[in-house]
Structure 1
Amino acid sequence: MKQILYKLFEHQCLGRTEAREILQNIAQGKYSEAQVASLITVYLMRNITVEELCGFRDALLEMRVPVQLDDFAPIDIVGTGGDGKNTFNISTASCFTVAGAGFPVVKHGNYGATSVSGASNVMEQHGVKFTNNNDLLRRSMEQCNIAYLHAPLFNPAMKAVAPVRKALGVRTFFNMLGPLVNPALPKYQLLGVYNLPLLRLYSYTYQESSTKFAVVHSLDGYDEISLTTEFKVATSNNEKIYTPESIGLSRCTESDLDGGNTPEDAARIFDNILNNKATKAQINAVVANSAFAINVMHPAKSIPECIALAKESLESGSAKATFKKFIELNS
């Protein structure tokens, strides 16, 4: 590790294979906590490269608990977190909206780190029991179009760095890996990021894989389509800036999207959305993210068509019924 650190301190970058081997060694406990902390600190001082990120991702995916859900050709809808906006669970609500519209979803999530409530918090508030049993996950996919993968059950290698990450108490490159290491390797992904450099980094990283993707960023710093301002969407084909008005939805304010002060607050908002009883701003944010997710899976469908499908899922009660069935199967 000493040679690796000297190399990094001299502003050199790791190759993909080298990065992969380093993360494997970290997971196997071959380096001290001080050495791991030093490595992490390097990436607080400079941006991670695509090669390094891909190498770290390769290592985690090789060490994951595998999930065989390929035949469903699902999508994951996820944000990086770290935008400091404390929004309600927009991506999680979008997952059930998309599933309710008839499209397969494999949601990879965890407890909230930078907001009051992460996807796993919402799941637990409703009595969901997390599992990595492939048969149970397949049953959930077959009967309600969605399975939930609680990240710690599938990425045991991350346990090795948990004490160091907790001691440092700052966002590290491990936070960036979360959206890239869904153990089901979903065919499609909608990823929200909190700044433009990350949008480009993830776009380049996805292009190194077979994933069909869209990376979204609201220009005022949200890691999702917030409808508070213009937002950029990057795919393998192009980058485009949209306004809320250009997709037929109203602008909203930051306070409209607040997730509250407790996981219970966030769960209440989540329930209101799936019951189609939330505010217009809350519903629209979920509809917008759901629509762009559907568009990733079916690019021949126009955004207005995708918005109509998302609205129908909520207004018809299909999203609510999907969540109810999901709870029955996973509690």
Structure 2
Amino acid sequence: MKTLLNQLYAREPLSRQSAYETLSRIGNGKAGDMEIAAVVSAINMRPAVLSEIQGFRDAMLELAKPIDLRGQETIDIVGTGGDGKNTFNISTLSSMVVAGAGYKVTKHGSYGVSSSVGSSDVLLALGYEFTNDENVLMKSLDKAGICFFHAPLFHPAMKNVAPVRKSLKVRSFFNLLGPLLNPARPRYQLFGTYNREVSRIYDYILQDELSREYNIVHALDGYDEISLTGAASVRSRERQRLLHPADFGLDQLTPESLHGGETAEEGKAIFLSVLEGKATPAQRNVVCANAGLAIHTIKPETSLQDCVAEAAESIDAGKALGVLQRLVA
């Protein structure tokens, strides 16, 4: 570990193999909290490195509990977090809306670390019980159109890291890894990243996974999702483009209109207000934009604005709310 730390403190990148071995050691409980904190802090001092993210991901997926979707094609909508914007749970809400529109969703998420309320925090407040029982999850996918993978139950390595991440309360390379670690390896995925360099790294990694289709989003003003507060860079396997609020058929929003709650109960209140049709226009529209882009990821031949309309109908017809009700039932 001393040699590794000296290398990191010298800002020398780890090879993919070295990164794999480092996280395998952490994941297998062979590193103490002080060592883990030192590794996290050292890596935080410089930009993300492709070889390191690849190696860390290799180790995490090797240690993860796998899920067999039995041939079903699903989508995940997930961001890195760590953008410091403290928005409400847009990606989790978008997942409910997409499921309400008739598409299968396998959502991967966890507790908030660098923000107040993560997807697991709000689902727990809504009465959802976490599980990694494959039969229960597949039943949920069948009945509700969605199932939720609470990351700590699928990535045992995280239990060794969680106390350190919680105490540091800053984004780390684990924020970068999270969206790449869905144990079901869904056919489709809408990623959100907090900077363009991370988007580029994701794109490089995913280009080799020909069985998957994806869009990678980074809002130019720093959000790890479509924020409608300005333009967003969107990468797919085929192209890179800038999307503006008008491309979604929606008005531009202010950052203040996207602010989330400081507690899980406040997050729950916003969550329900969106699904019950009682939210502010800004809250509703930003969810429809992200859900619309997710649907567009599944069927790119359909116009983006038509996909946004599908998302809106999912909310207006009560379908998205029905998804939540069946999920927690």
Which range, TM-score by smaller chain?
A: over 0.9
CA distance in 1, matches of 2:49, 2:183: 22
CA distance in 1, matches of 2:83, 2:136: 34
Runs in 1 of length 4+ with deviation above 6 angstroms? none
How much does 1:77 deviate?
Answer: 0.5
Segment of structure 1 superposing worse, 197-206 or 272-281 = 197-206
Amino acid at match of 2:226: I
Instruction: Rate the CA distance shift 1:169–1:86 in 2: closer, same or farther, 3 A.
Output: closer
* Aligned equivalent of 2:139: 139
Instruction: Rate the CA distance shift 1:9–1:32 in 2: closer, same or farther, 3 A.
Output: same
Instruction: Rate the CA distance shift 1:247–1:171 in 2: closer, same or farther, 3 A.
Output: closer
* Aligned equivalent of 1:202: 202
* Aligned equivalent of 1:56: 56
* Aligned equivalent of 1:262: 263
SS in 1 for 2:148: strand
SS in 1 for 2:48: coil
CA distance in 2, matches of 1:323, 1:162: 27
* Aligned equivalent of 1:161: 161
CA distance in 1, matches of 2:261, 2:63: 36
Amino acid at match of 2:111: Y
Amino acid at match of 1:287: C
CA distance in 1, matches of 2:148, 2:228: 27
* Aligned equivalent of 1:294: 295
Matched, 1:218 2:219: yes
Amino acid at match of 1:315: D
C-alpha contact (below 8 Å) 1:70/1:187 kept by paired residues: no
How much does 1:248 deviate?
Answer: 0.9
Matched, 1:280 2:281: yes
Measured against aligned partners, the alpha-carbon deviations of 1:287-327 in whole angstroms (never above 9, x if no partner) come to 10001111111122221221121111111111111211112
Measured against aligned partners, the alpha-carbon deviations of 1:213-232 in whole angstroms (never above 9, x if no partner) come to 11112111111111111111
1:105-124 alignment, distance < 5 Å: 105-124=105-124
SS in 1 for 2:157: helix
C-alpha contact (below 8 Å) 1:111/1:120 kept by paired residues: yes
* Aligned equivalent of 1:92: 92
* Aligned equivalent of 2:229: 228
* Aligned equivalent of 1:14: 14
Amino acid at match of 1:164: V
Measured against aligned partners, the alpha-carbon deviations of 1:143-201 in whole angstroms (never above 9, x if no partner) come to 11100111111111112223433444432212211111111111211111122222212
Instruction: Rate the CA distance shift 1:178–1:228 in 2: closer, same or farther, 3 A.
Output: same
Measured against aligned partners, the alpha-carbon deviations of 1:228-273 in whole angstroms (never above 9, x if no partner) come to 1111111111111111113210111112111133222221111111
SS in 1 for 2:260: coil
* TM-score computed with the length of structure 2 as normaliser: 0.94
Segment of structure 1 superposing worse, 193-202 or 222-231 = 193-202
State the identity as a percent. 46
Alpha-carbon RMSD across the aligned residues, in angstroms, is: 1.7
Measured against aligned partners, the alpha-carbon deviations of 1:44-71 in whole angstroms (never above 9, x if no partner) come to 2222321210111111111111111152
SS in 2 for 1:72: coil
CA distance in 1, matches of 2:166, 2:286: 32
How much does 1:2 deviate?
Answer: 3.1
* Aligned equivalent of 1:26: 26
Aligned residues: 328
Measured against aligned partners, the alpha-carbon deviations of 1:115-155 in whole angstroms (never above 9, x if no partner) come to 22211121111211110000000000111110011111111
Matched, 1:78 2:78: yes
